[in-house]
């Protein structure tokens, strides 16, 4: 049996596949209540979401197979993106799952316009991914730039 070259990253990849499938299923089940801008823009079609999810999973696999990175920051960025995207999609799927069990939430969501759905989605992604990701990468960049000025014992 062949040994995995990076079992932790492989686990994150597998988790990402599961989370993306879960999110896709919940997106189909909530139908017109889905707030993904691509879904809304393409007339409530699930096809753009499927294409994006396939691209995401493929890119995660591609990143998993890369064995050489130019800098620690490049590798750290990739790992951060893999984890943050998987987490964000998991949260979205959890929200969809919860909403499906709550008739009041479903009824209220049905009243939202396409613009309101898109605005909510952009806010969710901005607060849940973009801001934390930039903060995370900035912290690592500061760490990497200042590490040479300190002595780390272990």
Count: domains in the chain: 1
Q: Which pLDDT tens digit goes with each residue over 67-78?
A: 888 988 989 999
Residue 150 tokens read as 């300190």
- Do 73 and 144 form a contact (C-beta atoms < 8 A)? yes
Q: Is residue 91 part of a domain?
A: yes
Q: pLDDT-based confidence at 13, cuts 50/70/90?
A: very high
Helical ranges in 31-110 per DSSP H: 37-41, 47-65, 72-100, 103-109
Does the residue 95 lie in any domain? yes
Instruction: Give the C-alpha separation, 27 to 49, whole Å.
Output: 9
Give me 49's structure tokens.
């979401």
Report if residue 154 sits inside a domain.
Answer: no
pLDDT score, position 114: 81
Task: Answer whether 35's CB lies under 8 Å from 118's CB.
Answer: yes
Residue length of the chain: 154
Asked if the structure places residue 2 within a domain, the reply is no
- Tokens for 21, please give them: 């499938």
pLDDT at 1 over 70: no
Residue pair 128/91 in contact (Cβ under 8 Å)? The answer is yes
pLDDT class of 40 with cuts at 50, 70, 90: confident
Query: Looking at the domain assignment, is residue 132 inside a domain?
Result: yes
| Residues spanned by the domain of 88 | 7-149
CA distance 46 to 59: 20
> What pTM did the predictor assign?
0.82
Does residue 58 form part of some domain? Answer: yes
CB 26 within 8 A of CB 96: yes
CA distance 49 to 98: 20
Cβ atoms within 10 Å of 44's Cβ, excluding its own:
12
More confident residue, 74 or 154: 74
What average pLDDT does the chain have? 89
């Amino acid at each position: 049996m062949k040994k995995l070259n990076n079992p932790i990253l492989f686990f994150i990849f597998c988790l990402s596949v599961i989370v993306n499938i879960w999110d896709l299923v919940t997106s189909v089940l909530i139908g017109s209540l889905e707030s993904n801008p691509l879904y809304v823009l393409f007339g409530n079609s699930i096809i753009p979401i499927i294409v994006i999810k396939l691209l995401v999973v493929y890119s995660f696999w591609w990143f998993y197979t890369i064995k050489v990175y130019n800098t620690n920051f490049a590798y750290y960025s990739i790992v951060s993106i893999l984890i943050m995207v998987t987490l964000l999609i998991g949260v979205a799927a959890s929200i969809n799952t919860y909403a499906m069990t709550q008739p009041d939430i479903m009824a209220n969501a049905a009243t939202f316009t396409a613009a309101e759905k898109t605005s909510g989605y952009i806010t969710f992604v901005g607060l849940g991914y973009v801001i934390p990701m930039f903060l995370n990468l900035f912290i690592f960049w500061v760490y990497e730039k200042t590490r040479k000025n300190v002595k780390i014992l272990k």
